[in-house]
Amino acid sequence: MDYKALGLKAGIEIHQQLDTEEKLFCRCPTTLRKTGEHAGEFFRYLHATVSEMGEIDRAAAEEMMDRRQFHYLTYDTTCLVENDEEPPAPMNREALEIALALAKIFAMHPVEQVHTMRKLVIDGSNTSGFQRTALVAMGGILPNGGVVETICLEEEAAQRVEGSTFSLDRLGIPLVEITTSPCMFTPEDVQQTAEYIGMVLRSTGKVKRGLGTIRQDINVSIAAGARVEIKGVQELDLIAEVVRREAQRQTTLLAIRDELRARRASVGEEVRDVTPLFAGTESSILKKAKVIRAFVLHGFAGLVGREIQPGRRLGSEISDYVKKCGLGGIFHSDELPAYGVTAEEVARLREHLGAADEDAIVIVSGSKEKTACGARQAQHRARRALEGVPEETRKMLEEGSTSYMRPLPGAARMYPETDVFPVAIPDGLWEEIRAPELLCDLARRFENDLGLDAALARQVVSSESLPLFRAAVDAGIRPNLAARTILGTLKELGRDGVAVSRLAPAEILAVLRAVEDGTVAKEAIPEILSAVAAGTAVAEAVGAHAGGMSDGDLATLVQAIVADRIDFVREKGMRALGPLMGLVMAEARGKVDGRKVSEALRQEISRVI
Amino acid sequence: MDYKALGLKAGIEIHQQLDTEEKLFCRCPTTLRKTGEHAGEFFRYLHATVSEMGEIDRAAAEEMMDRRQFHYLTYDTTCLVENDEEPPAPMNREALEIALALAKIFAMHPVEQVHTMRKLVIDGSNTSGFQRTALVAMGGILPNGGVVETICLEEEAAQRVEGSTFSLDRLGIPLVEITTSPCMFTPEDVQQTAEYIGMVLRSTGKVKRGLGTIRQDINVSIAAGARVEIKGVQELDLIAEVVRREAQRQTTLLAIRDELRARRASVGEEVRDVTPLFAGTESSILKKAKVIRAFVLHGFAGLVGREIQPGRRLGSEISDYVKKCGLGGIFHSDELPAYGVTAEEVARLREHLGAADEDAIVIVSGSKEKTACGARQAQHRARRALEGVPEETRKMLEEGSTSYMRPLPGAARMYPETDVFPVAIPDGLWEEIRAPELLCDLARRFENDLGLDAALARQVVSSESLPLFRAAVDAGIRPNLAARTILGTLKELGRDGVAVSRLAPAEILAVLRAVEDGTVAKEAIPEILSAVAAGTAVAEAVGAHAGGMSDGDLATLVQAIVADRIDFVREKGMRALGPLMGLVMAEARGKVDGRKVSEALRQEISRVI
Amino acid sequence: MSDTFTTGDIVAASCRGQPVEGIYITDRDGMAVVKLGSGYNIGVDPATCTLVAKSGETAVQPPLTVEQDESLPELAIISTGGTIASKIDYRTGAVTSQFTADDILRAIPGLSSIGRYRAGVLATILSENMTPSIWQDLARAIHAAIRDGAAGVLVTHGTDTMAYSASAVSYMLDTPVPVVFVGSQRSADRPSSDNVMNGMCAAAAAGADLGEIAVTMHATTNDDFCAVHRATRVRKMHTSRRDAFQSHGMAPIGRVDFPSLAVHLTDDAVRRGACTLALHDRLEERCGLLYFYPGMAPEILRAYEGYRGLVIAGTGLGHVSTGCIRAVRDLIDAGAAVVMTSQCLHGRVCDRVYDTGRDLLSAGVIEGEDMLPEAALTKLMWVLGNESDPERVQRLMTADLKGEIRRRSDHGL
Amino acid sequence: MSDTFTTGDIVAASCRGQPVEGIYITDRDGMAVVKLGSGYNIGVDPATCTLVAKSGETAVQPPLTVEQDESLPELAIISTGGTIASKIDYRTGAVTSQFTADDILRAIPGLSSIGRYRAGVLATILSENMTPSIWQDLARAIHAAIRDGAAGVLVTHGTDTMAYSASAVSYMLDTPVPVVFVGSQRSADRPSSDNVMNGMCAAAAAGADLGEIAVTMHATTNDDFCAVHRATRVRKMHTSRRDAFQSHGMAPIGRVDFPSLAVHLTDDAVRRGACTLALHDRLEERCGLLYFYPGMAPEILRAYEGYRGLVIAGTGLGHVSTGCIRAVRDLIDAGAAVVMTSQCLHGRVCDRVYDTGRDLLSAGVIEGEDMLPEAALTKLMWVLGNESDPERVQRLMTADLKGEIRRRSDHGL
């Protein structure tokens, strides 16, 4: 596609969890827990508050259509603040300083006084019904010339366990939100920018790692389309694809709109109760429904079923809206007969509703209230198809297509968090903040100064074990040994089922130091680390592989093996080294460096031939 | 027996529950509850307190031999005072005034200032471990010249439910304790005095009625015997028998003593572990015992099994002592072979212990600790048989024999209840107290003034329904009607399964008034009361039996019946009245007084013949 | 607030050299607070602010009258400043408390299915600023509402001193209908506020078969049910939790389930109509509450010289140090009624057990039985407002007037 | 007591004309108390009393030394006047408190299987008469006992102010061994007294793997187990029940089962040896605790003029009325440290939420976090005894020194 011609514009918001000691507005640790470890549980309802127009915000209202009890799991690592039972503590200084360090990297302007705001979120993921968020810095630049509009410090929401049950361990973990302007014009631009910002975040050394700790939201629009915000893109590799598919979606929706307009299509007003028509139906879904309703989409035939993204049709978009009422979705005539609905039933329905061939029909089934709600929602979305692309917040599905989530919030629903005092950022503090060395620079430095090859250097700096590597180098371990052990050996051991997560950094360093001291051979590292991970003390594990093969012992062993096969050696000469090496190593593996064995063998062979 | 010659002396203590609004030292009602209604439960241990001699009182120590948890049931009618969790309230004035009224009847001297004392009771029946008691008056006289030594006001103990579980509903109900001097010399004296005092107590109209609400303790001794206190004689009729049997017991114990002395009998010191001797025993009791111990009673043969009261032997007395250790009792050689113990085993035991034919052997079985305790207790009691009659507190068994309960308390274990202020009885108060009319006087008055026959009068005054009777008479009901309804009809209805306890006094009075008004016939009383007990309103029940048969209706009925059988009437004349009466009553029963029917029939017959 | 700008003005300012534009909110602690287009507030140097545009017209609240169902019982809502309803102006971020019936029904739509409402504002204060004279006004206002036909009265109140106010009104008012105090522990401007559930449950209680003054608040941290507490036996026992209010010395007199709004009253609850409407609105303000602590200087007691009444929250069964007893005696000799309660809060005072207690009794101290110190204070104000004879004061203080004393301690800790 | 008779004399008297004879006990309130042969006491007119015989020799307590098992850990018992042991003289009915190790072991024989004991009497007062200077003596005595080798210390104490004393000692003493305060709610002279179980459980706690100051008392109304409470988090919550002592803001740090005496400590409990023995025994006595109530006259605060510290038990999140804030500011301006706690007892103070709170903060009030008012008072005495710089005082008062502050509210109500 020619994205320039389409008028593609995109921006991103990156949300990154910080690895602070304590949460943003309470003193709980930022530890994630297994739900099985929960210590308690409670439940609440959330109530949309009345806006200044005397109306409830549409996004909020839609969340409440299907009134739900939210259940929350508590832990011995959560407190009354997460439970919305105690006012928040003052803002976490550690988190603020990380945000300021980032601001420094992007050459931003920190605000003079940070005000914490409440942003309404009533999907249950925040016990309070709002998310606390504060604007920390504005106006930064990216190396590619893009603009970082703002850095905000926010509290992470609770993790949804399932349905309307949330786990409070995650609630309140500090997040930085880095928002760019819509300054990107190709899918690849977006992905590269996200990669760059991710690298910057990791450069602080204070961000959480692993799945779910960083999330990208992408704003996409094409010229005649509308701004769509796609939430929760966790895989960096998918970003470009998501943008591509959204461009495709908007393009197709516009095409459908044009076709509908050409057909003078319209949405039927009347929703009919057609339950009796399906009295003897074989459709398992319709069979168990209390009420079945249907309405006509005049002139929509064929378009409801048109694909707008891989695996997604206009019908899917309508279904998404209907799901907000607590229903499973819709049936539409473009996909029927199917799902147990017979051609005869469809014909009868068409006749009953007076639908022409060029018309489509939408069917909703369920309880009386839910079907009434569902039909209204379906009509609403169908009408918007006549207008083109709705402004929406969408969520990414697997593979990069998206589904409807909620309307874009109108004006930002924000008001001050009066329980948290504003925090001044005096010039003195700002000056004291130091930007960390970027990982890309660090990789270059490791390449140049430590002699790592470029790929390994990049791997080291992007690894979670970077601090361990640096500590090892500081302790005088050879950089290559450190890097290969930390990145290679440990990974392999882990793959082989060794509990490498039980190894303390100090233990790994001690083992490496034993290698550097010559106490053990580097070949012994895997076995020693395995033993330590299994609970053996480092000294003991090292001891088991050290001293067993002094230079003298090695010499004796080599002499014995050579003497035993003296004819062979004399026959083969130095070519005997390879075969004999195997025999010696069978005895010496893990006790002495292979190069040393090879050298000793070479000398002995030289001596005897 | 010639009790004079025996030197019989007896005194009684009568404990009577008072029917006050509230308990003696808290504001709970004095209502007894069903244990199934209990609202809660708790448990405690009691600890004997150290006396001034640095020793624990022997009675207290014996209670504690078998250390027990006491469980208590609480109710919505008990409070923290019964739970021993709140200091007592001031002494109940109502109870004090009842005690003073009794003092007036017995012409006693009330104390000038009443001091509440704590009397140690650690059998679990008092949550505090003591009973609160206060001396109210001293020095009264009985019509037979006996002396009422004291009147005390005490709190009732908790009711034992079973084992070591007690019900707190009864704890704290006020009791008066009336103590006579040992001024009675025949069993019949004792019974008559108890009867008289009981009548005096009921004369107050403020005592509880029913089983367990009054309890007599009897002190008995014969000249060469010892003071024995027999607790908890609840049936008045048994008092004389209890005294007789105790005189018999003491006489026999003295005879046994003399015989033992003549035989130069002694108690063997050594207790032997004889468990191995019973390795293959068929005795189910010995089979399950961990340890079996035995010792010799030199010269006791035949005497251990001698009957000292119906169903009681010296062996039973020894068993009673052993039971304090938590054992079931003893075996002794006078009763063996029996209970699965063979003659061969007895012979082996005798041989093993070196027991001669004139010796008896005592066997205790159970755990190591309990058998050691039990053997000590058995030796202790056997030694006392050489001295004669031990001073003891005993409890009555069915039929009037007694069993050992605990030693007589040495000096009274009393010390001040500091949480209750002393209560002054000023002269003014004492003068205001009026002695109630004695029931014996009242019965005479009912006989003379109200025309009740003597038996009915006595029945009325001793009935719990006396207040209702008096209210009825005050309301103008004929005394005989009132008495027969209240004592007769209600009793019969109750026997027939009518829920008479549901009838409020006011309802009964209303029915009687309707009879006296002529609204209903007195024959209707049982049916009306049954209806009311079943839930019908009085007016409705009365209505159903009233007015249905006016004088006119009766006349019409009588005329019709006579007219129908006019030949028969003419033939029989006035002798037809009897047979016709039955026919009329079949229609009129409960609607009109039988005498009225008879009169109407007589007139009609007169008229037609 | 700045002299130069009004809330709502559009201003331009500089944030460390970065130009910003936004809505001017206020000046606070030397900073100007500006709301940016994104909704975020930031603090900027007021000196850098310049006016871009004066505040536009504020969107006027449409006079959208909420329909009330005339077939439902009429309930009065009397507001004292506790915010059961609030409104957020997202343009400026300002949160304002709402007091009219319409406002309240708009904030808690569920109320309209329980009753129809008349609302009145008695005060708009933080509850720590309550005074005995406002309690009197409140009792009069409730009395008037019931006289005028209200089938029940809701009093919205800040939670800090709600128990004091409710107990004060208990003594002043004999009521045949429910008078239900309600508040919220989490502010009404948040979606998680307990105001909705508390308000609906309180309204249900106000329409129920109850005839006394009560406090209705969350019973647990869940949104499952509210407890109905007797006014003289309830105390706020947590600074911030929803279920802060707890009955002492008795179980709550009822509960209201949510969202079913089923009301369950215990046998202890006084029923509707058990009492005839009457107002006895005199209070003696010169009464205090003193919390004893070890080592307290007797001079502290002198601060209450000239007072007509003093409630002491003593230790344990009701004690103060021997050194303070003289000062207590002086107050009593000077004509004050001194009532002993316990800082244990649970259980009954008993000054007969220990020496200092007996000395206090002989000094003339009145045992406060099992009254909460707070309920004893408001009672003492009421008793001394109506009675001056010391013996009758003593008799009233030790008698149960409005459930504040229970003759029997039949309830757990 | 009469001038004429001594306790124990045999006297004759007349009771409304009835002659009586008995042991003379005492004169009280104008009556002579005489114990009759039956054991009953009665009050008689002293004028009617005549001497029959002078008091005989009192049975001398045999010097029956209780055997102590030298293989058991040595525990110190320091008595302050709480009666863990008492003796009844049934001849006169008198109850006397007992304090020697022998006396205590005779009263609670079970103790001898837990440890061997040295006992000392520090004071014999009712606990409401405790003072900061006795707390200092107590801290010194405990310090000396530990220094001299005690493996644990039992402090017997009246329950009224036990929590105050235990918290005061907490700040003054760093201890490597358990220091366990214990008392009884039901007097030791009754068979049902909680003294036996409390004493044995406390001794077991004193021998356990604990390294802090604790209070060990009945956990329930049953004789089933005692709770071990952290000294700075415990409060007496009932006037008379056995289970009056309750931890606030955290679960008890342990329990001791009865009669097994098995000790279970939670992860929160500080372990034996975690701390080095040290004594910091300075206290500033000019500190007070003020309980705010609505309508409180600001003049009451003036009673604390000249004080170096004041703890306020404010309402809710930590408030006083606007009218009182000025008086608070005056105290602070005059050099006093004022610490805000809450009369809710549970939960954390937060003065950032409401206006009066913010005004208090700007007046210089120190937020007392989730401290109990009593633990804040003793802490303030200790902090001001050791520090005068206001900023350092503030820092210490808001820091957790001995478990009195928890950074996280992780415990239920």
- The CA distances from residue C224 to A43, B80, B208, C265, in Å, are 8, 32, 48, 16
Chains that touch B (3 or more CB pairs under 8 A): C, D
CA-CA distance, A194 to A237, in Å (whole number)? 10
- What is the reported pLDDT for A49? 63
Q: Mean pLDDT in chain D? A: 92
pLDDT at D135 over 60: yes
Kindly report the pTM of this predicted structure: 0.86
Q: Is D189 on the interface with B (CB under 8 A)?
A: yes
pLDDT at B54: 38
SS3 state at D268 = coil
Q: For residue range A311-362, what is the model confidence (pLDDT) as tens digits?
A: 999 999 999 999 988 899 999 999 989 999 999 999 999 999 999 999 999 9
Q: Which of B242-256, B379-393, D41-55, D81-95 has the lowest mean pLDDT?
A: D81-95
Is any Cβ of chain D less than 8 angstroms from the Cβ of C292? yes
Report the pLDDT value the prediction gives residue A53, as an integer from 0 to 100: 37
Percent over 90 (pLDDT), chain B: 66
Catalytic (active site) residue C379: no
Burial class for B223, CB neighbours closer than 10 Å (0-12, 13-18, 19+): exposed
Give the pLDDT band (50/70/90) at residue A232: confident
Task: Please tell me the total number of residues recorded for chain A in this structure.
Answer: 609
The predicted pLDDT at position C228 comes to: 98
Q: Does residue B588 have a pLDDT over 80?
A: no
pLDDT at B113 over 90: yes
Please name each of the domains of chain D with its CATH number.
10-53 (2.30.30.520), 74-279 (3.40.50.1170), 287-397 (3.40.50.40)
Q: Across B82-221, where does the E strand assignment appear?
A: 109-110, 113-114, 116-120, 130-141, 147-155, 159-162, 165-167, 174-180, 214-221
Which residues 384-423 of A have a C-beta within 8 angstroms of C? 411-416, 418, 422
Q: What is the pLDDT of residue A65?
A: 46
**Is the CB of D315 less than 8 angstroms away from the CB of C241?**
no
B226 in Cβ contact with B37 (< 8 Å):
no
Please indicate if any CB of chain D lies within 8 Å of the CB of C28: no
Q: How does residue D67 score in pLDDT terms, banded at 50, 70 and 90?
A: confident
Task: Give the residue-averaged pLDDT of C336-348.
Answer: 97
Selected for mutation to probe chain B from D108, D221, D237, D257 (highest B CB count within 10 Å) is D221
Cα of A291 to nearest chain C Cα, Å = 26
Record: contact C408-B28, CB cut-off 8 A: yes
For residue B541, pLDDT over 50 is answered with yes
Helices and strands per DSSP (H, E), number in chain A: 22, 24
Secondary structure (3-state) at A372: helix
Which of A64-78, A314-328, A522-536 shows the lowest per-residue confidence on average (mean pLDDT)? A64-78
* Partner residue facing A47 (CB), from C39, C62, C196: C196
Tell me the mean pLDDT in the region A403-415: 78
Residue C236, pLDDT > 80, answer yes
Please give the Cα distance from A136 to A110 (Å, whole number): 6
Can you tell me whether residue A524 is helix, strand or coil?
helix
> What confidence score (pLDDT) does residue B53 get?
37
Instruction: Decide if C20 touches B, using CB distance below 8 A.
Output: no
Contact, A357 vs A346, CB < 8 A?
no
What is the predicted pLDDT for the residue at B538?
85
d(CA D13, CA D353): 73
Lowest mean pLDDT among A84-98, A359-373, C197-211, D52-66: D52-66
Question: Where exactly are the structural domains of chain B?
Answer: 3-227, 260-387, 439-543, 551-608
Q: What is the pLDDT of residues A113-162, one digit of tens each?
A: 999 999 988 889 999 999 999 999 999 999 988 999 999 999 999 999 99
Q: Long-range contact list for D58-63, CB < 8 A, 24+ apart?
A: D58/D8, D58/D89, D58/D91, D59/B52, D59/B53, D59/D91, D61/B52, D61/B54, D62/B54
What residues of A are in contact with residue C221 (Cβ under 8 Å)?
Answer: 42, 83, 85
The reply to whether B78 touches chain C by the CB within 8 Å rule is: yes
The torsion angles phi and psi of B244, rounded to 5 degrees, stand at: -60, -45
Residue D65: pLDDT band (50, 70, 90) is: low
Q: How many CB pairs under 8 A join A and D?
A: 31
Give the pLDDT score at A557.
84
Asked if A80 is an interface residue toward chain D (Cβ–Cβ < 8 A), one would say: yes
pLDDT at D69 over 60: yes
Instruction: Please tell me which residue, B513 or C313, carries the higher pLDDT value.
Output: C313
Mean pLDDT, rounded, for B534-558: 78
Better pLDDT: B125 or C112: B125
Residue A52 has pLDDT above 80, yes or no: no
Cβ neighbors of C370 (< 8 A, separation 6 or more) are: C249, C347, C348, C349, C405, C406, C409
Asked if A575 contacts A602 with a C-beta cutoff of 8 angstroms, the reply is no
In contact, D264 and D157? CB cutoff 8 Å: no
Distance to chain C for B25, nearest Cα, Å: 11
C7, C92, C156, C159: the active-site residue:
C159
Which residue is closest to B133 within chain D, CA to CA? D40
DSSP track, B260-289: HHHTT-EE----EE-GGGGTT---HHHHT-
Res D188: pLDDT: 87
Output the CA torsion A601→A603→A607→A608 (10° steps).
20
Nearest residue of A to residue D407, measured between CA atoms: A27
Question: C 338-367 residues with CB below 8 A of D?
Answer: 342-350, 354-356
Do C and B touch (≥3 CB pairs < 8 Å)?
A: yes
**Chain centroid, CA D97 distance in Å:** 16
pLDDT average, residue stretch C351-369: 93
Q: Looking at beta carbons, which residues of chain A come within 8 Å of D350? A: 86-87, 419
* Residue A466 three-state SS: helix
| CA distances from residue C326 to C181, C333, C353, C393 in whole angstroms, order as listed | 40, 10, 19, 21
Would an 8 Å CB–CB cutoff place C30 in contact with chain A? Answer: no
Q: Which CATH class name applies to A260-387?
A: alpha beta
Q: With 80 as the cut, is the pLDDT of residue C88 above it?
A: no
pLDDT tens-digit readout, B468-496: 999 999 989 999 999 999 988 988 998 98
Helix, strand, coil proportions of chain C in percent (round to 5)? 25, 25, 45
C-alpha D351/C-alpha A408 separation (Å) is: 37
pLDDT band at D57 (very low <50, low <70, confident <90, very high): low
Residue D109 sits at the chain B interface (C-beta within 8 Å): no
Mean pLDDT throughout D185-191? 89
Of residues A594, A599, A587, the one with CA closest to residue A561 = A587
Alpha-carbon distance C140 to A268, whole Å?
A: 59
Please state, for a pLDDT cut of 90, what percent of chain A lies above it.
Answer: 66
Average pLDDT rounded to a whole number, residues B196-216: 93
Contact B416 D41 (CB under 8 A): yes
Q: Is the pLDDT at C63 greater than 70, yes or no?
A: no
CB A127 within 8 A of CB A158: yes
* D406 reaches B (C-beta below 8 A): no
- Chain D residue with the nearest C-alpha to that of C342: D239
Contact residues, A window 37-56, toward C, CB-based 8 Å cutoff: 42-54
Is D398 an active-site residue? no
Element (H, E) at A258: helix A239-263
Query: Residue B79 and residue C348: Cβ atoms within 8 Å?
Result: no
Going from the C-alpha of B57 to that of each of A499, B413, B418, the distances in angstroms are: 68, 8, 22
SS3 label, residue A216: strand
* Segment B301-324 mean pLDDT: 94
Nearest-Cα residue of chain C relative to residue A416: C93
The pLDDT of residue B412 is above 70: no
Contact C249, C410 (CB under 8 A): no
Q: If residue A295 lies in a helix (H) or strand (E), which one and from where to where?
A: strand A291-298
Interface predicted TM-score (ipTM): 0.84
Catalytic residue, from D137, D160, D189, D257: name it. Answer: D160
Mean pLDDT check: name the lowest of A47-61, B134-148, C132-146, D343-357.
A47-61
Size of interface B-C (CB pairs under 8 A): 31
**Residue bearing the bigger pLDDT, C54 or C68:** C54
Are D90 and B80 a contacting pair at CB < 8 A?
Answer: no
pLDDT of residue C179: 98
Can you tell me the mean pLDDT for A422-448? 94
Question: Is there a contact between A79 and D353 if contact means CB atoms under 8 Å apart?
Answer: no
D323 and C129 within 8 Å at the Cβ level: the answer is yes
C267 touches chain B (CB under 8 A): no
Cα distance from D369 to chain C (closest Cα, Å)? 11
- Calculate the average pLDDT of chain A: 90
Mean pLDDT of chain B: 90
Distance of residue C340 Cα from the nearest chain B Cα, in angstroms: 16
Across the interface, do A26 and D408 touch by the CB < 8 Å criterion?
yes
Instruction: Say whether B43 and D20 touch across the interface (CB within 8 A).
Output: no
C105 — pLDDT class (breaks 50, 70, 90): confident
Per the model's pLDDT, the better-predicted residue between B558 and A438 turns out to be A438
**Is C96 among the catalytic positions?**
no
CA–CA min distance C352, chain B (Å): 6
Residue C62 pLDDT more than 70? Answer: no
pLDDT of A64 > 60? The answer is no
- Is D35 an annotated catalytic residue? no
List Cα–Cα distances, B372 to A291, B60, B326, in angstroms: 83, 20, 11
Nearest CB among C28, C38, C43 relative to A412 is that of C38
**Test the A interface: residue of C35, C36, C38 with most A CBs within 10 Å:** C38
Distance CA A333, CA A354 (A): 14
pLDDT at D60 over 90: no
* DSSP one-letter string for A413-456: -EEE-TTS--EE--HHHHHH--PPPPHHHHHHHHHHHH---HHH
pLDDT at position A67: 60
With CA atoms as reference, report the closest residue to C290 among C336, C353, C254.
C336
Contact C190 A129 (CB under 8 A): yes
What are the structure tokens assigned to B31, written together? 């209502």
Q: For testing the chain C interface, which of D160, D193, D286 should be mutated: the one with the most C CBs within 10 Å?
A: D160
| D370-386 b/e (C-beta count within 10 Å ≥ 16 → b) | bbbbbbbbbbbbbbbbb
Take residue D159 and report the two structure tokens written for it. Answer: 């329950």
